[in-house]
Structure 1
Amino acid sequence: MIQSFIKKQFLLFIRNPHELLVLLGMPFILVTILGFALGNVMDGDDGAPKIHAKIALVNEGNEQADIQRFVHEVESMKLSANQKQMMVHTAKAMLPVTTLKNEVLGSKELKKYIKVVTVQPSKLKKVRQDDSYAAIIKVPNGFTYSVLRNALLGEQQPAKLSFYVNEGKEMTSEFVEDIVLEFQQRYSMFSALGKSGFINHSFTIPDIHVQGKVETVTKKKPIHAITYYMVGMSVMFVLYIASNVGSYAFNEKQLHVFDRILLADVSKWSYMTGIFISTVLLAFVQLNILYGVTSSVYHIKWPALFSFLIVTLALSLAVGGLGVLLTALNFRINSEQVSRFFQSVLVTLFSLLGGSFFPSGQLSDFMNTLGNFTPNGSSMSAYLKLLQGYGLTEVTHSILYLCLFSAAMVVASVWAFPKRGNLS
Structure 2
Amino acid sequence: MFSLIKKDTLILTRSRSDLTELLLMPFILIAILGLALGNLTLSEFTINAFPVALVQGQSIDRELEDWEEVLENRGVPDDTIPLLTSQAEAMAPGIQLSTLLNDDEVAEWIQVVEYASNEDALEALDEGEVAGVITIPDGFNASVWNAVMFDEDETGVISLEVQNFDNVTTDIIRSVLSTYANQFNLEASIAVATEGGAEASGLSDDNYGEITTLTAADPISSFQYYTIGMGVMFALHTAPALASRAFKEKKQHVFGRLMISRMSPLTFLGSKMISGTIITFLQLGILFGLSTLIFGTLRGYPLRFWIDLGMLSLAFSLVVGAITSLLTSITLYSNSDASSGFFGGILVTLFAFVGGSFTPVEQFSEALRSIGNWTPNGAMMTAYLQLMQGFNMSEISPLVTRVAGMTAVLLVISVGLFPKRRLD
Pairwise TM-score range, normalised by the shorter structure: 0.5 to 0.7
Asked if the contact 1:216/1:222 (under 8 Å) is kept, the reply is no
Q: Distance in 1 between matches of 2:215 and 2:306?
A: 22
Q: Which runs of 5+ in 1 are unaligned?
A: 49-103, 105-205, 207-214
Q: TM-score, normalised by structure 2?
A: 0.58
Aligned position for 1:37: 36
Q: Deviations over 1:4-37 (max 9, x none)?
A: 0110001111110121111111111101111111
Q: Distance in 2 between matches of 1:234 and 1:265?
A: 38
Aligned position for 1:408: 409
Asked if the contact 2:372/2:379 (under 8 Å) is kept, the reply is yes
Q: Distance in 1 between matches of 2:394 and 2:249?
A: 42
Q: Distance in 2 between matches of 1:377 and 1:221?
A: 22
1:167-186 matched pairs, under 5 angstroms:
none
Q: Deviations over 1:367-408 (max 9, x none)?
A: 111100111111101111111111111211122122111111
- Looking at CA atoms only, which structure, 1 or 2, has the larger radius of gyration? 1
Match of 1:25, as an amino acid?
Answer: L
Q: Deviations over 1:68-96 (max 9, x none)?
A: xxxxxxxxxxxxxxxxxxxxxxxxxxxxx
Aligned position for 1:24: 23
Asked if the contact 1:235/1:376 (under 8 Å) is kept, the reply is yes
Asked if the contact 2:332/2:418 (under 8 Å) is kept, the reply is yes
Aligned position for 1:240: 237
Aligned position for 1:340: 341
| Residues 43 and 367 of structure 1: CA distance in aligned 2, closer, same or farther (over 3 Å) | closer
Asked if the contact 1:243/1:340 (under 8 Å) is kept, the reply is yes
Displacement after TM superposition at 1:43 (Å): 5.3
Aligned position for 1:255: 252
Aligned position for 1:230: 227
Q: Distance in 2 between matches of 1:230 and 1:314?
A: 18
Aligned Cα RMSD in Å? 2.4
1:210-229 matched pairs, under 5 angstroms:
220-229=217-226
Asked if the contact 1:246/1:326 (under 8 Å) is kept, the reply is yes
Asked if the contact 2:265/2:419 (under 8 Å) is kept, the reply is no
Q: Distance in 2 between matches of 1:13 and 1:273?
A: 17
Q: Distance in 2 between matches of 1:393 and 1:234?
A: 23
Aligned to 2:242, what secondary structure does the other structure show? helix
Asked if the contact 2:239/2:276 (under 8 Å) is kept, the reply is yes
Displacement after TM superposition at 1:283 (Å): 0.5
Aligned position for 1:94: none
| Residues 216 and 360 of structure 1: CA distance in aligned 2, closer, same or farther (over 3 Å) | farther
Q: TM-score, normalised by structure 1?
A: 0.58
Aligned position for 1:100: none
1:264 aligned residue (248, 261, 264): 261
Q: Distance in 1 between matches of 2:351 and 2:3?
A: 32
Q: Distance in 1 between matches of 2:258 and 2:352?
A: 36
Identity %: 40
Match of 1:359, as an amino acid?
Answer: P
Q: Deviations over 1:260-293 (max 9, x none)?
A: 1111111101111111111100111010000011
Q: What is the total number of aligned residue pairs between the two structures?
A: 259
Displacement after TM superposition at 1:220 (Å): 4.3
Q: Which runs of 5+ in 2 are unaligned?
A: 47-103, 105-204, 206-211
Aligned to 1:357, what secondary structure does the other structure show? coil
